[in-house]
Structure 1
Amino acid sequence: MVEGWFAGQGDDFRLLGTRCAACASVFFPREDAHCRNPRCPGGDLEEIPLSRRGRIWSYTDSRYRPPSPYVSNPELPWEPYTLIAVELEAERIVVLGQAAPGVLVADLSVGMEVEVVPGALHEDTETVWTTWKWRPTGVEA
């Protein structure tokens, strides 16, 4: 879990970004120091909740165990996962994330509507590290 990147639970779960007051550029991951738009003279940055829904811009599957800092148990078999790049139309940005459990590449198409949902990045006996995942709309977890 990365502090300040998302908030809420269930239907209230949202990614959090920042918007520049001078040029209205939106950033995710959030930016707290300065506007990243090279044409902007700079302005105050405010936290904003991002759209919960967007459309698939691209997608792929990951069939290899990524290197550190990704956390995986080398003693367990590797399970491929699906990555989805989602365009948030209102914010005019693309956000990358894993697909929700059970969502396969075969289930997806460019332009399909998806929504952000909470998911587990990693868990052990004491802690669950939360992240965001993308799920086609109308599909229950």
Structure 2
Amino acid sequence: MPHSRTPAVAGWFTGENDDFRLLGTRCPSCTAVFFPREDTHCRNPHCEGASLEEVPLSRTGRIWSYTDSRYRPPSPYVSDRELPWEPYALIAVELQAERIVVLGQAAPGVTVADLTVGMEVEVVPGVLHEDAETTWTTWHWRPTEVRA
């Protein structure tokens, strides 16, 4: 049986490798962009827009903030207690064209020691979890430049 690749959240991203993109929505009335996507109404409190259009978001942005996750999440969050906890970096990335900040994990191998505020990063496909039948896919942020 083939190993299936399934998005962790359907409709939040599309593509592979160099054409991988996060998908947001834009309100045609006020031009506000949302991620996670909004499909029912404009979240801008000053807008009464009711129709939203899907838009691919910028592939690159600048680090607005970052931190590391050094502890296993407590209940009720799911975490395999049998496996050792592997710390990871969490990055808040500002997408200038969309005027929003998007959170995501750093790509494997990227630690907080590799990051600085203002550094350019790009969105890349990632793996959230794998089991015997399914690879649950998500997005990661990866620096586009090597830090000296």
TM normalised by structure 1 equals 0.94
Q: Secondary structure at the match of 1:11?
A: helix
Rounded Cα–Cα distance in structure 2 between residues aligned with 1:7 and 1:132: 10
Q: Secondary structure at the match of 1:66?
A: coil
Which residue, out of 87, 111, 123, partners 2:118? 111
Letter in 2 for 1:92: R
Rounded Cα–Cα distance in structure 2 between residues aligned with 1:67 and 1:36: 31
Aligned residues with identical type, % of pairs: 81
Letter in 1 for 2:107: A
Which residue, out of 16, 19, 23, partners 2:23? 16
Which residue, out of 55, 63, 72, partners 1:56? 63
| Closer/same/farther in 2, CA of residues 69 and 96 from structure 1, 3 Å limit | farther
State the match for 2:10 in structure 1: 3
State the match for 2:5 in structure 1: none
Gaps of 5+ in 2: 1-7
Rounded Cα–Cα distance in structure 1 between residues aligned with 2:107 and 2:78: 18
User: In the comparison of the two structures, how many residue pairs are matched?
Assistant: 139
Q: Secondary structure at the match of 2:18?
A: helix
Shifted more, 6-15 versus 63-72: the winner is: 63-72
Letter in 1 for 2:59: R
Letter in 1 for 2:45: P
TM-fit CA distance, 1:114: 0.1
State the match for 1:135 in structure 2: 142
Question: Per-residue displacement from partner, 1:63-98 (whole Å, max 9, x unpaired)?
Answer: 111245654321011111100000000000000000
2:87 counterpart of 1:80: yes
Please, what is the CA RMSD of the aligned residues? 1.3
Rounded Cα–Cα distance in structure 1 between residues aligned with 2:37 and 2:75: 23
Rounded Cα–Cα distance in structure 2 between residues aligned with 1:69 and 1:45: 33
Identify which of structures 1 and 2 has the higher relative contact order when contacts are C-alpha pairs closer than 8 Å and 6+ apart. 2
CA contact (8 A) 1:25 1:37 kept: yes
Q: Secondary structure at the match of 1:32?
A: coil
